[in-house]
């Protein structure tokens, strides 16, 4: 029996993934939009059947560090002049660089069209640089990428990666109408592009995400979403109900009363970035290893258009003092091909954090006492540290211990899969969730 059959037999239409709303026949205490309980009790559905996660210290294969380039006022996307060259800035995306890159790259190409000559230098070979290069190539530009490092040695390779368009992106009090308009355009273009790339070739795929919780009316362990300060980033006609389905007691294997299931769009950085590099080469692009110290160094480039996608490098190269690093740390366990979902929740016996604390229903953030797991082909990724202002690339051993211990405790309390039933697998939604249903996700 497929997941589609399970949902149909439980009385749920496939439209629960799209505009029409979620969990219309949810349990009496299940959350609907606005937090109101459902009016009627329905019969329990057949429980989902998930492959267990083997979490233990002897399965840890690596821990990685990445520094997100954050600006309180959001990313920079504008065109300047550098003597007779056109200089287009495209940096400062925080934890949303993988999510917004295609849209920002499209607007970079719009700026570049101001020049009649079709040669461009792109600075940086992470997600913003590679996608800008591809968007420029689609407009007929000859592109050369100049970078100090290329995949797999870029910050983008160290990201959790998924469609998380407002993750670590902007402070609500720093937004402007002009920036909001750029964000909306970038978010919509990128979302459409990533949907077209779903498949093994690019490492982009739809994935079920489960948030274990005892309170389905709350944040759902970081997956329910209140979109505080970001809910109005889309025009009203594009806002929709949250992409969430509440599973009641007996319908899921997690050590909690409820589990909130939602559909996420995930990206595997190692597959995705290597594929983009190949696409740049196949379309006549070049990549040159080179370092620039001052803007004057850029005058040696022959290209009349320069696109700056250097991320945190713009702090010194272009004296952007607003740029700060937000340190991330991920620990990866041995891959399990049968685990095709992501999950998060509080381990049994762990007290809930107070409201407003990280992981306490106050709008996101990182709580190392919670267990998190994202399944990828290169491993099961746990943890997602966010430490503002820390430039260190050293592993935080205290955080590593807490996230691994939390994962071991949480997943050891999961119910075992039923051997006589097929495993529940994610399916692409019948219609894609609204863009703003991803606004509470972190990456």
Complete DSSP assignment for 256-299: SSEEEEEEEEEE-HHHHHHHHHHHHHHTT-EEEE----SGGGGG
Average pLDDT over residues 267-282: 97
Which domain CATH number covers 93? 3.40.50.720
Among 306, 323, 340, where does a domain finish? 323
315 lies in the same domain as 339: no
9 lies in the same domain as 129: no
The pLDDT of residue 43 is above 50:
yes
In the chain, how many H helices and how many E strands?
Answer: 7, 15
DSSP secondary-structure letter at 10?
Answer: T
226 lies in the same domain as 333: yes
**pLDDT digits over 142-191, tens only?**
999 999 999 999 999 999 899 999 999 999 999 999 999 999 999 999 99
Average pLDDT over residues 296-314: 96
Q: How many CB atoms are located within 10 Å of the residue 343 CB? A: 29
Q: Is residue 443 part of a domain?
A: no
C-alpha Rg value of the chain to the nearest Å:
22
Average pLDDT over residues 277-289: 98
**pLDDT digits over 45-85, tens only?**
678 999 999 999 999 999 999 999 999 999 999 999 999 99
The pLDDT of residue 128 is above 80:
yes
317 lies in the same domain as 243: no
Is residue 217 classed as helix, strand or coil in its secondary structure? Answer: coil
Write out the residue range of the structural domain in which residue 142 sits: 69-197+269-323
Give the strand pairing for 324-333 and 204-213: unpaired
* Number of separate domains in the chain: 2
Q: How far apart are the two ends of the chain, measured CA to CA in Å?
A: 33
103 lies in the same domain as 171: yes
Q: What predicted TM-score, i.e. pTM, was given to this entire model? A: 0.83
The pLDDT of residue 359 is above 50:
no
Band of the pLDDT at 3, cuts 50, 70, 90?
very low
79 lies in the same domain as 129: yes
Nearest to 121 by CA among 292, 244, 341, 263: 292
The pLDDT of residue 313 is above 90:
yes
């Amino acid at each position: 029996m497929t997941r589609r059959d399970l949902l149909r037999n439980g009385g749920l239409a496939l439209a629960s993934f799209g505009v029409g709303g979620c969990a219309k026949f949810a349990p009496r205490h299940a959350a609907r939009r606005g937090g109101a309980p459902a009016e009627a009790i329905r019969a329990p559905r057949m429980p989902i059947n998930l492959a267990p996660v083997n979490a233990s210290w002897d399965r840890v294969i690596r821990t990685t560090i990445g520094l997100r380039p954050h600006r309180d006022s959001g990313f920079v996307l504008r065109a300047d002049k550098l003597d007779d060259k056109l200089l287009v800035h495209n940096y400062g995306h925080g934890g949303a660089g993988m999510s917004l890159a295609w849209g920002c790259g499209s607007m970079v190409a719009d700026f570049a069209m101001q020049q009649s000559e079709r040669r461009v230098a792109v600075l940086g070979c992470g997600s913003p640089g590679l996608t800008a290069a591809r968007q420029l190539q689609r407009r007929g530009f000859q592109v050369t990428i100049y970078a100090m490092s290329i995949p797999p040695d870029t910050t983008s390779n160290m990201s959790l990666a998924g469609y998380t368009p407002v993750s670590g992106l902007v402070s609500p009090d720093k937004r402007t109408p002009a920036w909001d308009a750029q964000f909306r355009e970038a978010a919509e273009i990128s979302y459409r592009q990533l949907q077209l790339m779903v498949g093994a070739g690019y490492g982009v795929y739809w994935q079920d995400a489960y948030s274990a919780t005892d309170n389905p009316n709350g944040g759902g362990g970081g997956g329910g979403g209140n979109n505080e300060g970001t809910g109005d980033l889309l025009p009203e006609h594009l806002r929709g109900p949250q992409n969430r389905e509440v599973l009641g007691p007996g319908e899921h294997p997690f050590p909690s009363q409820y589990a909130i299931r939602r559909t996420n769009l995930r990206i595997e950085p190692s597959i995705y970035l290597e594929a983009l590099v190949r696409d740049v080469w196949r379309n006549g692009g070049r990549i040159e290893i080179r370092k620039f110290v001052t803007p004057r160094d850029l005058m040696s480039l022959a290209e009349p258009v320069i696109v700056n996608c250097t991320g945190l490098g713009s702090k010194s190269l272009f004296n952007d003092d607003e740029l700060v690093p937000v340190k991330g740390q991920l620990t990866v366990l041995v891959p399990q091909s049968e685990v095709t979902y992501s999950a998060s929740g509080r381990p049994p016996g762990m007290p809930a954090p107070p409201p407003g604390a990280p992981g306490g229903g106050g709008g996101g953030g990182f709580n190392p006492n919670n267990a998190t797991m994202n399944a990828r082909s290169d491993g099961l990724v746990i943890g997602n540290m966010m430490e503002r202002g820390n430039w260190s690339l050293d592993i935080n051993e205290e955080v590593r211990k807490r996230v691994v211990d939390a994962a071991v405790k949480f997943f050891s309390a999961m119910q075992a899969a039923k051997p006589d039933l097929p495993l529940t697998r994610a399916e692409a939604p019948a219609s894609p969730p609204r863009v703003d249903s991803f606004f509470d996700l972190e990456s």
